[in-house]
Amino acid sequence: MAMTLQTTRRPATARPRRRQILPDRLLPYGMIGPAVFVAFAIAIIPLCYALWLSLQDWYMLRRPTPVWGGLVNYRTLLSDTALWASFGRTWIWTIGTVVVEVALALPIALLLNRESAVARTASAVILLPWVTPFIVLGFGWRFLLDSGVGPIHALLHALGLAGDSSILNDPVGAFAMIIFISGWKGTPFLVIAILAALKSIPDELYEAAEVDGAGPVQRFVHVTLPEIWNTIVTVGLVLGILAFYSFDLPWIMTKGGPQDATTLVGIAMYKAVFLDLRPAYAAAISVVMLVLLFIASLITLRLRRRH
Partner 1 sequence: MRHRSPTRELALDATTIVVIFLLLVPILWVFVASVRPETDITGGGLIPTRFTFEHYAAILAKKPFLIALKNSLIVGLAVAVVTTALAMPAAYALSRFSFGGRNFFALLILGTQMLPSLAVLVPLVVIIRQIGLTNTLTALIFTHLALGMPIAVWMLKGYIDAIPKELEEAALIDGCGRLGAMWRIVVPLIRPAIIAVGTFAFVLSWGEYLMALALISKSDVKTLPLALQGLFDPYSFSWGQVMAGGTIIALPAILLFLIFRRQLVGGLLAGGVKG
Residues 45-84 that bind partner 1 (CB under 8 A): 45-47, 49-50, 53
Residue closer to partner 1 by CB (options 261, 269) is 269
> Beta partners for 57?
67
Site for partner 1 in 239-298 (CB under 8 A): 239, 241-242, 244-248, 251-252, 266, 269-270, 273-274, 279, 282-283, 286, 289-290
Number of shown-chain residues binding partner 1 (CB under 8 A): 103
| Cα–Cα distance list, 128 to 52, 122, 133, 198 (Å) | 40, 10, 10, 21
Q: Does 202 bind partner 1 (CB under 8 A)?
A: no
The only residue of 5, 159, 217, 275 in contact with partner 1, by rule CB under 8 A: 5
Query: What DSSP string runs through the chain?
Result: --S-GGGSPPPTTSPP-GGGHHHHHHHHHHHHHHHHHHHIIIIIHHHHHHHHHTTEE--TTT-SS-EE-TTHHHHHHHT-HHHHHHHHHHHHHHHHHHHHHHHHHHHHHHHH-S-SHHHHHHHHHTTHHHHS-HHHHHHHHHHHT-TTT-HHHHHHHHHTSS-SS-GGGSHHHHHHHHHHHHHHHHHHHHHHHHHHHHHTS-HHHHHHHHHTT--HHHHIIIIIHHHHHHHHHHHHHHHHHHHHT--HHHHHHHTT-STTTT--HHHHHHHHHHTS--HHHHHHHHHHHHHHHHHHHHHHHTTSPP-
* Stretch of 77-85, 87-95, 148-156, 164-172 lying at the interface with partner 1 (CB under 8 A): 148-156
Residue closer to partner 1 by CB (options 38, 303) is 38
| Cα–Cα distance list, 217 to 25, 220, 222, 295 (Å) | 58, 5, 9, 35
Site for partner 1 in 82-121 (CB under 8 A): 104, 108, 111-116, 118-119
* Stretch of 39-47, 91-99, 254-262, 299-307 lying at the interface with partner 1 (CB under 8 A): 39-47
The only residue of 125, 158, 211, 299 in contact with partner 1, by rule CB under 8 A: 125
Q: Does 184 bind partner 1 (CB under 8 A)?
A: yes
Residue closer to partner 1 by CB (options 42, 71) is 42
> Beta partners for 68?
56
Q: Does 40 bind partner 1 (CB under 8 A)?
A: yes
Q: Does 39 bind partner 1 (CB under 8 A)?
A: yes
The only residue of 16, 18, 22, 29 in contact with partner 1, by rule CB under 8 A: 29
The only residue of 192, 223, 228, 288 in contact with partner 1, by rule CB under 8 A: 192
- Letters for 149-168 (x = contact with partner 1 by CB under 8 A, - = none) are x-x--x--------------
Site for partner 1 in 213-242 (CB under 8 A): 238-239, 241-242
Residue closer to partner 1 by CB (options 148, 160) is 148
The only residue of 187, 254, 262, 263 in contact with partner 1, by rule CB under 8 A: 187
